[in-house]
Amino acid sequence: MTGSPDLAPLRAAFGTRLVTEGPQLDARARDASIVTRPAAALLFAQSTADVATALRLADEMRLPIVPRGSGTSVTGSAVPPEGGGLVLDLSRMQRILEVDPDDLVAVVEPGVLTADLRRAAAAQRLFYPPDPASLETSSIGGNLATNAGGASGLKYGTTRDYVSALEVVVPGGAVLRTGARTVKNATGYALAQLFVGSEGTLGVITAATLRLLPLPTAERTVLAGFDAVEAAAAFVGRVLAAGLLPASLELMDRRAVEAASRIVPGALMGDAAPSAQDGDEAIVLCRLDGTELGATEAQEAVADMARTSGARLVHLPHDRAEEDRMWAARRAVTPALEQASPARLGEDVVVPRSRIVAMVGRIREIARQRRLTIVIFGHVGDGNLHPSILFDPVDRDQVSRMRAAASDLFTAALELGGLPSGEHGIGELKKDFLPLAVDPVALELMRSLKTLLDPHGILNPGKLFPDGRSPIQPQRR
């Protein structure tokens, strides 16, 4: 698209609800990534009918649309397309339509915040497990479109595992209802799953029926501190090999702990703060849930295993308040690192669990070679790490080393049998790595599905599919 688009048909349909200037539009030029681009217009959808009208008109006008929830994407997937286009903001569709304890489902609009759904479920002793660290700000629509994970992925899986049915509007404006409220469904293609993780490129999710579980009655936490990141990662392997299934197994290196401790002081190491000077230590936070008895027994087993695995400290929280502070500190790592550095690229590599120690080694090697600080933390029990590259955006040499280091990270994950994203998605930032991560026939099928559902390419163009223009490029070897 070149020049400013003619928005008259949208203006006729939505009147003054179509925003074409001002701070609300300006704020939607960015998400939580390093990518920014201005939009031509913004519409706050209030109903499925609004979304259908917008998609019908945009298709006729050949106007690019980016669906948007809360804009916490870290891959540029929620940033407007080149040439501007329309930001279709779903954040005002935020009704929790049902929480049904008989069918164990919730029915929600896409703008509902993840934490609000979890609280509404918990009020009825029910549990919606997906828990991205952004849960207080990210939306269910965004979680579905990115297949968001979180700390509970180890035991409970990711957003995809909780989808029973979706209502989706596809380009042209048709409304598709797919899936069912039933526990089982062997009735035709699992079309709802197609839209999960599609990053707003295939359709706009306007309602979701999500599975719930009974709320675990008890949670216990173990904090284990190790002298080296590799030792901490190896401990995780031992826990899993012993047949224990914690809800969460999280790794934080010393820099991650120090950053989080500035936001939630004393929560992680308490009086057992690290003593070594060289910054090599790491902690593992392990959460066990279930019944009182089961969770307590599992907590003791994990604590014993930490002691016999060479942990320098093993700490069990004294009460629920201390436990909550520990997990709040874990969730604070990303914002804390953002405060601590002029800029940060938070990455999201995933490897088979057996390769975690190798991946940690590769990250440390990349940091040395590229002369950059890379903070290591993440959902180590899932093999999913968030190496965070700290850099100064005005230092061109650092920016170029940051890009090279990110490329090295994805390459290392792929070489270890992993992927360049476990939960954040591909977006704009790493689209040129997609051909290295998926089979060529599968990639061709993905392109065919995109063309079938979106023949004019209006939905979130420039995202997910490779075009040789992603900010992080594969290295020539």
- Asked if 68 interacts with ligand FAD (CB under 6 A), we say yes
Q: Which stretch binds ligand FAD (CB under 6 A): 145-153, 219-227, 291-299, 405-413?
A: 145-153
Two structure tokens written together for 466: 């490779």
CB of 448 to ligand FAD, least distance (A): 20
**141: contact with ligand FAD by CB under 6 A:** yes
The binder of ligand FAD chosen from 209, 460, 461, 471 (CB under 6 A): 460
Whether the CB-CB separation of 335 and 406 falls below 8 Å is answered with no
453 touching ligand FAD, by CB under 6 A: no
User: Residue 361 is encoded by which pair of tokens?
Assistant: 């080694």
Q: Looking at beta carbons only, is 67 or 84 nearer to ligand FAD?
A: 67
User: Shortest Cβ distance from residue 110 to ligand FAD (Å)?
Assistant: 4
Q: How far is the CB of 149 from ligand FAD (least distance, A)?
A: 4
What is the rounded end-to-end Cα distance, in angstroms, of the chain?
34
Binding test (CB under 6 A) with ligand FAD, winner from 254, 424, 430, 450: 424
Q: Could you say which of 25, 66, 166, 305 contacts ligand FAD (CB under 6 A)? A: 66
Stretch that binds ligand FAD, among 9-17, 60-68, 224-232, 446-454 (CB under 6 A): 60-68
Cβ contact 380:251 at 8 Å:
yes
Strand segments (E) across 357-450: 373-375, 377-379, 384-385, 388-391
Confirm or reject binding of residue 212 to ligand FAD (CB under 6 A). Answer: no
Contact 302, 240 (CB under 8 A): no
| Cα radius of gyration rounded to whole Å, the chain | 22
Q: By the 8 A CB rule, do 246 and 287 touch?
A: yes
Binding status of residue 204 toward ligand FAD by CB under 6 A: yes
Nearest residue to ligand FAD, scored by beta-carbon proximity: 142
Is residue 373 helix, strand or coil? strand
Q: Is 178 in the site for ligand FAD (CB under 6 A)?
A: no
Decide if residue 143 touches ligand FAD (CB under 6 A).
yes
Q: Does 239 bind ligand FAD (CB under 6 A)?
A: no
> Rule CB under 6 A: is residue 200 a binding residue for ligand FAD?
yes
Nearest to 117 by CA among 207, 221, 250, 196: 207
> Which residue, chain included where needed, has tokens 């479920």?
121
248 scored as a contact of ligand FAD (CB under 6 A): no
Tokens 């003054």 appear where?
16
| Binding of ligand FAD by 86 (CB under 6 A) | no
Q: Is 209 in the site for ligand FAD (CB under 6 A)?
A: no
For the CB of residue 396, give the shortest distance to ligand FAD in the complex, in Å: 26
Kindly state the smallest distance separating residue 195's Cβ from ligand FAD, in Å.
Answer: 7
145 interacts with ligand FAD by CB under 6 A:
yes
**Judged by CB under 6 A, does residue 362 bind ligand FAD?**
no
Q: Is 341 in the site for ligand FAD (CB under 6 A)?
A: no
Q: Judged by CB under 6 A, does residue 67 bind ligand FAD?
A: yes
- Residues 6 or more apart in contact with residue 3 via CB below 8 angstroms: none
CA distance 55 to 187: 28
Is the backbone of residue 104 left (phi > 0), alpha (psi -120 to 50) or beta?
left
| DSSP label at residue 459 | B
113 bridge partner residues: 139
Instruction: Work out which of 80, 142, 381, 418 binds ligand FAD, going by CB under 6 A.
Output: 142
In angstroms, give the least distance from the CB of 71 to ligand FAD: 4
User: Is 462 among the residues that bind ligand FAD (CB under 6 A)?
Assistant: no
* Residue 237 binds ligand FAD, judged by CB under 6 A: no
* Pairwise CA distance, residues 60 & 280, whole Å: 57
* Helix runs in 89-228, H state only: 114-122, 140-146, 153-156, 191-195
- Contacts (Cβ under 8 Å, ≥6 apart) of 233: 251, 282, 356, 357, 360, 380
- 328: three-class secondary structure by DSSP: helix
Q: Which residues make up the interface to ligand FAD (CB under 6 A)?
A: 31-32, 66-74, 77-78, 90, 110, 132-134, 138-139, 141-143, 145-146, 148-150, 199-200, 204-205, 334-335, 423-424, 460
